[in-house]
Structure 1
Amino acid sequence: MSSYSDDDDMALWSHIVATITPINNNKTTYKKPQEKHSKFYANNALSQYNNHINSYRLLTNSTLDFNNNQTITTGINLDKNTKKKIDKGKYHIDNVLDLHGYTLDTAYSTLINFIITNYNESKKCLLIITGWGSKNQGNNSIKSNFSKWLHNEQVAEIILYYKEAISRHGGKGAFYLLIKSKKKSK
């Protein structure tokens, strides 16, 4: 049992209420969230790739027929078991990039830089989350441009294979991307 009386509680409560300042208009100010992948922008390497940012627009007008299950680089025989593991979502994913909320230009440059950075770090399998894109976006969604962007001259030669992810990794809104191993200099 407490040694304080109801009068003591009431006096304390009155004191607390008297010192409270109301919130103006009941609005809270929020800090602008940091860019999800700001570490990629910190790298000076991105600036040298920005001059190619419009090249995806050239590819969107091409007559090439891309599908989401193709081998990009010719002359590379992907091991049957490796392909099977990727297709079933059982290949170890080394790094993930989520492009939700990005503009097309930012998504494009971030993707190219992400692939090059992971290649330089000897990463092998990447999971790229593009999102589904809305029907009213048509060919202006990240997903609809994704396979075209992979044909960029800076990354096309290091990409071995890509495939739509299984449902637990994002399904139709994500892709597995297998890149070549970087040759070690002696």
Structure 2
Amino acid sequence: MTKDKKKISSNDLKLWYQIVDKVEPIKKRDNPDIKDQEQSSIDAGSIISRDVNQKKIIKKKISKDKAAIKLAPSKVPIKKDELLKFTGIHRRLEQKMSRGQIDIDSTLDLHGMTQEEAKHATINFIKVANKNNLKIILIITGKGISNENTNTRYKNRYERGVLNKNLPAWLQMPEVRDYVNGYRYANQKHGGEGAYYILLKA
């Protein structure tokens, strides 16, 4: 014996459709913790990537700097006569000499002399200065005769600048080298490169 199926009235169907129309599907809720973790992972990855790139850049720069240092000369070569020029003159005195802020004890002017005359005059001058306990002396050599100079007497007696070039060698001669502590070009007011300051040993 079968049961009779219950018939659905038209009113019931109408009510059912009204209810169905109002029903909305459940939205999938985002998990904030998962989202934060994903964002943190992305941020961390970006930071690590950026740090790695910066380290690579720094390493490249250091490598370039090291290469530049290797290529650059360690020291500028100094000529032998430049070393002799400043031998025995301490830094503070050398600075005073360069500014001409020194007291000159005696002066010798070699203008008009031949090479031999100038050499002997220089040797005797230094010996006398040492005997009298002088400290700083000035020897004027001049820069030489210019081509415009019409005085044949000077042109025939010595070439341009020869006294100026030879004086450092004379200061190294056995007769006087034990008296000389050092020397350098004079300040402009005392003759510039046409004269020498000479520091004698105490």
TM-score by length of 1: 0.55
CA contact (8 A) 2:97 2:187 kept: no
Cα offset, 1:135, TM superposition: 6.3
Residue 51 of structure 2 corresponds to none
In the alignment, the residues of structure 2 paired with residue 69 and residue 151 of structure 1 have an alpha-carbon distance, to the nearest angstrom, of: 9
Cα offset, 1:68, TM superposition: 8.4
CA contact (8 A) 2:135 2:201 kept: yes
Correspondent of 1:119 among 97, 119, 130: 130
Which of structures 1 and 2 has the bigger CA Rg? 2
Residue 186 of structure 2 corresponds to 165
Which consecutive unaligned segments of at least 5 residues does structure 1 have?
1-63, 182-186
Correspondent of 1:107 among 99, 118, 138: 118
Higher relative contact order (CA 8 A, sep 6+): 1
Cα offset, 1:87, TM superposition: 2.3
- Aligned pair count reads 113
Correspondent of 1:66 among 67, 73, 81: 81
Please list the CA deviations of residues 83-134 of structure 1 after superposition, one character each: whole Å capped at 9, or x if unmatched. Answer: 2212221111000000000011010000000001001100000111001113
Cα offset, 1:66, TM superposition: 2.3
Task: Give the root-mean-square deviation of aligned CA atoms.
Answer: 2.2
Greater fraction of residues in helix: 2
Which consecutive unaligned segments of at least 5 residues does structure 2 have?
1-78, 148-158
In the alignment, the residues of structure 2 paired with residue 89 and residue 102 of structure 1 have an alpha-carbon distance, to the nearest angstrom, of: 26
The 3 A distance-change label for structure 1 pair 175 and 159 is same
What is the correspondence of 1:16-165 to structure 2 with a 5 Å cutoff?
65-67=80-82, 70-72=85-87, 76=88, 78-134=89-145, 137=159, 141-165=162-186
In the alignment, the residues of structure 1 paired with residue 183 and residue 168 of structure 2 have an alpha-carbon distance, to the nearest angstrom, of: 9
